[in-house]
Structure 1
Amino acid sequence: MDRQQRWVRVPPGRQRQSLQSLPLRSLQLPVDVVDSLAEVGIDSIGKLLRLPRVSLQERFGSIVPLQVSRLIGDVSDPLTPLNGSELLAANHSFEMPVLGREIDSTYFRTLIERLVHQCLQPLVNTNRGVSSLQVRFDANEGHGPTVIEVGLYKPTVQVRHLVDLVMLRFERARLPREIIDVSIEVMSVGPLPYRQQNLFRGPTQSDISRFEILLNRLVSRLGSGAVVEPRLLADIQPEASWVAAPVVSVIGLSKSHCSGHLLELSRPHFSKPVVGPSRPTFLLSSPRLIDVPSLSADGLPVRFRWKGQFHVVMRSRGPERIETAWWRGPTVRRDYYIFETDHGGRFWMFRGLRKRSWFLHGTYG
């Protein structure tokens, strides 16, 4: 079965620039090495490439410079086929081309149920379920296929739930004018979640199941990039210490490294977070420059204006200095303070050590 391909074209000489934003896990480094690099502020390939390879080898071993050399093409990296499970797929070919706009949803649902059931049969008694799958509508020659991808929060073997998710995407899909074949391919599998049975019936298990169903339906309706959760990162700079990560990863074809084998899906690994002594309840996406008309003798705000209202500082605590490492690029140097005002508010503000301006970065509940 031919697979749909996704490619990224990189102009000659732009390889390094296009790779800089990728996370370290893209290098397939051991987890302990990724954690060690994160502890010194290295959480992306771009930051790693700024460091000399000799020092990397002395501190982290030969695996880091070797993977870097493979990534930028200094060392050959031939791909070896993986030994894994056979591809789980099923297809239905029509005797005559079917007009896409005339496909009846009831008939299509029945067809998808049968194909999904065929795909799930090899997973019986293996304690594994489907994490992502792909539905493909092939057209006549000269027309590309339409592909529907479905990802799940947790693996499942429930045919009805998988079909419901496919139908949500089917309602918004632009089908080919004439369809000659419909196929389903399981892109990734994972261990089924184990849930302890309750002695007395309670809402726990059913609530968790409803929550997972809701997440899967939201992702199918809105797309994986629209349903996210905050994940802490190992970065001392507050606005760079978290990332909005999709709660459901739709494993696309670009992540399948070998044809004819399943991808065993695992949850993405995130480095250990760096947590400061006190952080605000609400953190602004980026610091906001604020008007400070009067300062005390030691240079701290006596009052400041935020959202058109003046606040008089009653108490302050600080400073907490936050300074990023040199290998991250432009250095960030800030002194953070917690200011309590006459209106009962608590504000997390900092003074830049270069321009000496004051910025608001967050507020406490």
Structure 2
Amino acid sequence: MKRILAVWLPNWPIQRWQASEPEQRDRVQVLSQVERRGQCVVACCDRGYQMGIRPGMPVAEVNTLLQARGLSATEAMTHRPYDPAADREALEKLARWACRFSPCVDVEQREPADTLLLDASGLAPLFGGEDSLLCQVQQGFARIGLKSSLALAGNIGTAWGLAHHPPAELAQRDGTGRTLVSSDTEQESLVRQLPIEALRIPATLIETLHLLGLYHVGQLMQVPRGELKARLGMEPLVRLDQVLGHKTEVMQAARLPQQFAAQWILEHPTDHPESIHTMVMRLLSQLLQQLAAHDLGALKLTCVLQTANRRETSFEVGLFRPSSCNKHLRGLVDTQFERIRIPGPIQEVTMQVVQFARLEKRQQSLFQEMSWKDSSAPPDHSQEISGLVDRLASRLGRDAVVRPRLVADAQPELAFSHTPLVGQPPRRTTRRSEFGPLERPWQLQSSPTPIDVTAVMPDGPPIQFRWQGEHHQVERHWGPERIETGWWRRRAVRRDYYRVETTTGHRFWIFRELTRQNWYLHGSFD
């Protein structure tokens, strides 16, 4: 008999935030996005809800609400932009974790997603019954800091509806939020009592059905199907058939991540460095063979040496680009192996590829010895560069070889971060800058430099300025461009930027700081 277990994670965006940053639980947590009325609340924590914060409320009203309670928004509230893509990515990762309860776990296709679907067919005897299964699954989510509402039924639609809208007569008396449907007769009765919202239809359709006086699934079942189709289209009928079990839904099991690991257990421990080194290299060769069979390359691998009394020492190797080259990886492993201190006789050696990616394959030139001058294309030195980066990171440390990455921040000097080059999965993005090459300077000062500026009016454009002891006369200017940070920052930034061209042909990026009316030079286009 088909059994589906739905696990609903109420207020999932906030729960994800709290699970990743538990230190923020004492503050009011608010997620918002830009709508027609401006920045509006999408979700808030329980404490904020008790204070009167509601989804759809403008963030400016939230600030006023907190001030009315004698609280400062910058001190009592943490405000972040709503990121549904990150929420789904975290939910998919959670689905792979939930494979410990069922071999088939899926994330609901509806957006925004906040529910996991587990195929529980035939699993109840393994957990001591369906009641015990529900209890163990909910306790498992509670151990990782997540609140959940569960329902076990004969199809996806019913399980989803009962998880989100548990009936009072079947919900556990202790308020744990677990619903169990034992028979088809009981399931049909419960489905009739479900609210229209349990059909997973858009909010506009729900509002239309409410205007027609339809609030429960049982009322909708009494309406002729032809009239429903003519007035509202096929979607309500499809969802109704799904919740009644007349139309099946297909689940897509979450793909478990591939694991590449090798282990060597000794009957008699040894502290001989050469013997331990030989074991490490043999394990490395086994891992590379496993990766090569899947056309993959290592990005990060770890090696753990364990003594007979469970003392451990370990080292890590990170790479700039995925590689399965035995010679290259042996050199990196040798460098790290030389640095470790063996705590005693080693009994167990474990090596694992923590991160991996598809190998890059490039077509080679027909005549490798042909010089660049005789060729129409420059030679490809990517492999040499990758090897250099790996060796530098191996000797200097992973955090010593970094690259800049753009960060979504209005303040230019904070709109980037440094991330390590090695040990990171390759990222490809199609995001393009909204500014052209003539609108942002090629060189940016690490911090804005104060300059003396002469302007026609207090709020007008600059006509001349003095920098590094030299006098610059402004020939042309473009702007101002207002750059301002959000009010939730403790120290707000308000600037008017100008692109100026001097009489000598040099172009600079300068701004007036609006709080104190001071001028600064921030970059140059030369």
TM score, norm. by length of structure 2: 0.48
Corresponding residue for residue 497 of structure 2: 336
Q: Pairwise mapping of residues 231-310 of structure 1 onto structure 2 (< 5 A)? A: 231-249=405-423, 265-267=425-427, 272-275=432-435, 277-288=438-449, 290-292=450-452, 295-299=454-458, 300=462, 302-306=464-468, 309-310=469-470
**1:186-201 equivalence runs, <5 A:** 186-201=353-368
Q: In angstroms, what is the RMSD of aligned CA positions?
A: 4.4
With a CA cutoff of 8 Å and minimum separation of 6, indicate the structure with the bigger relative contact order.
Answer: 1
Equivalent position of 1:7 in the other structure: none
Structure-2 residue corresponding to 1:168? 335
Shift in alpha-carbon separation, 1:301–1:206, aligned structure 2, 3 A: closer
In the alignment, the residues of structure 1 paired with residue 145 and residue 395 of structure 2 have an alpha-carbon distance, to the nearest angstrom, of 40
Whether 1:151 and 2:151 are equivalent positions in the alignment is: no
Instruction: Could you tell me which runs of 5 or more consecutive residues in structure 2 were left unpaired when the two chains were aligned.
Output: 1-18, 58-80, 88-109, 116-140, 151-252, 373-377
Q: Distance in 1 between matches of 2:111 and 2:398?
A: 33
Distance in 2 (CA, whole Å) between partners of 1:362 and 1:186 is: 43
Q: Give the count of matched residue pairs.
A: 306
How do residues 63-142 of structure 1 correspond to structure 2 at under 5 angstroms? 66=114, 75-76=147-148, 83-91=256-264, 93=266, 95-98=268-271, 103-104=273-274, 109-141=277-309
The 3-state SS of whatever aligns with 2:381 is: helix
1:173 match: secondary structure: coil
Give the letter aligned to residue 186 of structure 1.
V
Q: CA deviation at 1:159?
A: 1.4
Unaligned runs of 5+ in 1: 1-9, 25-33, 251-264
Query: Secondary structure at 1:190's aligned position in 2?
Result: strand
**Secondary structure in 1 aligned to 2:290?**
helix
Q: Give the % identical residues.
A: 30
**Aligned equivalents of 2:147, 2:313: Cα separation in 1:** 38
CA separation of 1:126 and 1:280: change in aligned 2, threshold 3 A: same
- TM-score, normalising length: structure 1: 0.67
Say whether 1:318 aligns with 2:492. no
Q: Give the counterpart letter for 2:23 in structure 1.
A: R
Q: Specify the alignment match of 2:23 in structure 1.
A: 14
In the alignment, residue 278 of structure 1 is paired with which amino acid?
E
Deviation at residue 164 of structure 1 after TM alignment = 0.8
Q: For 1:94 and 1:270, how far apart are their aligned partners in 2?
A: 53
Determine if the alignment matches structure 1 residue 217 to structure 2 residue 384.
Answer: no
- The higher radius of gyration belongs to 2
Deviation at 1:177, TM superposition (A): 4.5
What does residue range 38-77 of structure 1 map to in structure 2 within 5 Å?
53-54=55-56, 66=114, 75-76=147-148
Deviation at 1:87, TM superposition (A): 3.8
- Tell me the CA shift for residue 360 of structure 1: 1.6
Compared with structure 1, are the counterparts of its residues 134 and 353 closer, same or farther at alpha carbon in structure 2 (3 Å cutoff)?
Answer: same
Shift in Å, 1:175? 3.6
Structure 2 distance, partners of 1:163, 1:17, is 49
Q: Which whole-Å deviations, capped at 9, do the CAs of 1:9-47 have from their partners, x for residues lacking one?
A: x9x9723589x9xxx9xxxxxxxxx9x99xx99xxx99x
Offset from partner CA, 1:88-109 (integer Å, 9 cap, x none): 223253723416xxx25xx655
Helix, strand or coil for the counterpart of 1:285? strand
Query: Are the equivalent residues in 2 in contact too, given 1:94–1:181 (CA < 8 A)?
Result: no
Aligned to 1:27: none
Q: Does 1:207 align with 2:374?
A: no
Is 1:362 matched with 2:371?
A: no
In structure 1, the residue corresponding to 2:382 is in which secondary structure? helix
Residues 1:342 and 1:92: Cα distance change in structure 2 (over 3 Å) = farther
